[in-house]
Amino acid sequence: MDYYFETRQMCVGYHKRPLIKDIEIGLKKGEILTLIGPNGAGKSTVLKSIARQLEMISGVVYLDKEDMTRMSGTKLSQKMAVVLTDKIKTEMMTCEDVVATGRYPYTGRFGILSKEDYEIIKEAMELVHITEIKDKDFGEISDGQRQRVMLARAICQEPEIIILDEPTSYLDVKYKLEFLSILQEMQRKKGLTVIMSLHELELAARVSDKILCIRGEYVDRFGKPEEIFAPGYIVELFSIASGSFDEENGSMELEAPKKEAKVFVIAGGGTGRNVYRSLQRQGIAFITGILFENDVDYPVAKALASEVICSQSFEPISEDALQRARQKLASCTSVICCRKKFGTLDKENSELLHCAREWGIKVDYVPFQNREN
């Protein structure tokens, strides 16, 4: 297959000492690749080597079928833009001045900006919402603003490929989503190819066409998000010893309380997740059910509950599940009911609530913040 970007037997490291060997990547034009892996695994080293800011130990990197090591600096800067975590040094430069440096690969030896260049600079600043700070000193703005200025600078280069190292690390939720939306828009409209590293696994799963997993001396996995985020893999990749990560929905949860559960939570349909997390924060162990296995409450329940009474999806709740729930309910001293009403498919939960009242078990209804524990 012909790739727009490709690495063959790439080996990277420092002072000729290999850190990661045999990196094989193939990307079509317009694909987004995200590197993930533990801190210190070498993601930044790979990106710096691709960007020619760090010399490879061995291997070849092809960009549009051309060996990148043979490209002139000007040609490479017209094809590739780079935004790394290293802070650039500026003296008396406004944010607009920094963004404008993205046009220098096109200005010739005198570096004179044309009317068209200024239009491109203006559009780039508007795209990442930094027009209001264009006259501010670049050295005096926040890290999040600095990140958006550097993105605008990269956009100004009108690159075919962009290299980004943890580009969302200083951005709040609003700008994280806007930033990734901008990348997707440029990918779709201009065929921009993106290679980046991200800590936010849920974002990586949503925005990436391909994911490269780095662990140890070699690439651990390379493929589509649905191939990478297989059950149990992220826990293995990051050596997660406490808490949990659910690859299917990107849910990350803290460790469940290790106590005898005396609280039974009747939930379902997304009504229980906040309750489960509140109990975990208070260190209160709990049992919950009866949940269908495809219920949105189920992943959080599975991570935080001492026990989950569940029933097969798309099937009536079994008599066996109901009996197990009754047995567990009988061992509890209080019930939290998150439901206002029950449907025909889970009427057994209504029976559990009736049992709790009949047996004299204390029942609290959400909101339950003021209840005595």
What average pLDDT score do residues 84-95 get? Answer: 80
Spatial distance between the Cα atoms of 18 and 36, rounded to a whole number of angstroms: 19
How confident is residue 133, by pLDDT bands cut at 50, 70 and 90?
very high
C-beta of residue 362 within 8 angstroms of C-beta of residue 334: yes
Spatial distance between the Cα atoms of 35 and 199, rounded to a whole number of angstroms: 9
Least confident of 230-239, 245-254, 303-312: 245-254
How confident is residue 159, by pLDDT bands cut at 50, 70 and 90?
very high
For the chain, the first-to-last Cα distance in angstroms comes to 63
Model confidence, pTM: 0.83
Residue 372 has pLDDT above 50, yes or no: no
C-beta of residue 156 within 8 angstroms of C-beta of residue 134: no
Residue 230 has pLDDT above 80, yes or no: yes
Residue 119 has pLDDT above 80, yes or no: yes
Considering only residues 293 and 251, tell me which one the structure prediction assigns the higher pLDDT: 293
Q: Which two tokens stand for residue 214?
A: 């780095």
% of the chain at pLDDT higher than 90: 70
**pLDDT tens sequence across 287-305:** 999 999 999 999 999 999 9
> In this structure, which amino acid lies at residue 302?
K
What average pLDDT score do residues 178-182 get? Answer: 87
**DSSP assignment of 338-361:** --S---STTHHHHHHHHHHHHTT-
Considering only residues 370 and 300, tell me which one the structure prediction assigns the higher pLDDT: 300
Q: Is 142 exposed, middle or buried (0-12, 13-18, 19+ CB in 10 A)?
A: exposed
pLDDT of residue 250: 77
How confident is residue 367, by pLDDT bands cut at 50, 70 and 90?
low
How confident is residue 373, by pLDDT bands cut at 50, 70 and 90?
very low
Give me the chain's average pLDDT, please: 91
Spatial distance between the Cα atoms of 342 and 364, rounded to a whole number of angstroms: 16
Q: Which residues contact 316 (CB under 8 A, 6 or more apart)?
A: 345
% of the chain at pLDDT higher than 70: 97
pLDDT of residue 369: 43
Residue 370 has pLDDT above 70, yes or no: no
Considering only residues 287 and 243, tell me which one the structure prediction assigns the higher pLDDT: 287
What average pLDDT score do residues 256-275 get? Answer: 95
Is residue 164 helix, strand or coil?
A: strand
Spatial distance between the Cα atoms of 109 and 238, rounded to a whole number of angstroms: 48
